[in-house]
A and B are shown apart, each in its own frame.
Chain A
Amino acid sequence: MIKRIVVFFVTLAVCLAVFHGASMASEKPSDTGDVIASIKLPIPQDKNAQNYLGLTGEGSFAISQIKAEVVLIEIFNMYCNNCQREAPRVNELYREMTKNSSLKDKIKIIGIGVGNTPLEVDVFKKTYQVSFPLFPDEDYSIHKACGEVRTPYFIGAKINADGAITVFHTKEGGFQDPAQFLKQIVAASGL
């Protein structure tokens, strides 16, 4: 009987290790640095958003032009139930980022609303009082370039000295604890 229990637990440990490994592998950063680097977004006309991102003027900008070392990109959809549920936690994550004086200039967050018009993004922004910049991806072009991921989806991108982007973290679905998630991002980015 004892032997049976031992066999069960040994198998449990092995299976958990294998299953967990496989599950984590799917969240490993994919080679999407070039994809992220190629994204062009309109410079927001809102002064607070411009200040936050360190941008001025009109036209478009690339992620590498954001005044930060690390940019966390949330791929969301105003219509998506899970994104709506996640919104308060993402706001909390933004607050955690900005209240930490040693981090606030180094790590920034933006949201990209896939398949959303500017009006739809605005509805989301107002409903959840989102303080960080959100951008519409009306024609799904960014969504397609990123591999049509399910929303919400988080991409941790590091801006290298030469302007190239390294994706160091991707996550499908929400996170439970914003402070913990921020710690994870900071550790993975090497900030």
Chain B
Amino acid sequence: MLKSKRICCELAISGIAVLCFVAMAYGLSDTLKENIYEVEQLKPIDSVPKLMVGEKAPNFTLPAVSGGRVSLSQYRGKKNVVISFVPAAWTPVCSEQWPGYNIAKAIFDQYDAQLIGITVDNIPTLYAWTHQMGKLWFMVLSDFWPHGAVADTYGILRSDGVSERALFVIDKKGVIRYIDIHDINKRPPLDDLVNELKKLKK
């Protein structure tokens, strides 16, 4: 009786150990997929716009994931700027938007535009998140502290502390030429941005 109990116990423990091992082995290839936090449908827009097309883009200086600090003003007279605010690292739509831009460098180059990605996450989070996207050609800045201050200045800070999914096109004179405060649940089509960049060239 005792012996059979012990065998049962050993079987159970071995089984659990093996299942853990197998689950880990099978899970590895899907690590990235499993790290994306599923988000329910959110209120499409949850902020009040503060800026308009034709206005000067407010300057900002933020820390970059690649090190150092970056100011919008450093591009004045040199490059058009596209700012892509995305709500949060490790969320479904955001985790795809930037990898898409990452293979569209030729389009940004064609219109002499520098892409800048911004979220309200802190640098270590942004580092880990963007690192798994591969090598990004554009700069990623952290608007973590004072929390979401730039997003707030740009009128896109939502009531829960993340930013809208928004695109701003700023010309070489520092003037805002396009604002797309997009439905947070959806990815803006690249076509809309390209159409706006085309207008800058004229």
Binding site for B on A (CB under 8 A): 4, 7-8, 11-12, 15-16, 19, 23, 77-82, 84-85, 115, 117, 119-120, 123-124, 126-127, 150, 173
Contact = CB atoms under 8 A, between A and B. Distances in A.
Given A120-B189, A123-B104, A126-B106, 18 more contacts: A4-B10, A7-B7, A7-B10, A8-B17, A11-B18, A15-B18, A19-B23, A23-B26, A78-B103, A79-B99, A79-B100, A81-B32, A85-B134, A117-B191, A119-B191, A120-B191, A123-B100, A127-B104
A7 B11 contact: yes
A16 B18 contact: yes
Given A7-B10, A15-B18, A81-B133, A117 B190 contact: yes
A150 B95 CA distance: 14
Q: What interface size band does chain B fall in?
A: 20 to 34
B41 interface: no
A150 B30 CA distance: 11
B96 interface: yes
Contact of A16 (B22, B96, B99): B22
A15 B18 CA distance: 7
Contacts of A7: 7, 10-11, 14
Contact of A127 (B23, B96, B103): B103
Which 6 pairs across A and B sit closest by C-beta, in order of nearness? A79-B100, A79-B96, A11-B14, A127-B103, A15-B18, A81-B99
Contacts, number: 74
A64 to B, nearest CB: 31
B173 interface: no
Interface in B1-40: 7, 10-11, 14-15, 17-19, 22-23, 26, 29-30, 32-33
Contact of B100 (A8, A82, A120): A120
Contact of A11 (B15, B106, B194): B15
B100 A115 contact: no
Contact of A123 (B17, B95, B103, B132): B103
B107 interface: yes
16 contacts: A7-B11, A12-B14, A12-B18, A15-B19, A15-B22, A78-B100, A78-B103, A79-B99, A81-B96, A81-B132, A84-B99, A84-B103, A117-B190, A119-B194, A120-B190, A126-B106
Given A8-B14, A123-B190, A79 B97 contact: yes
A84 B95 CA distance: 13
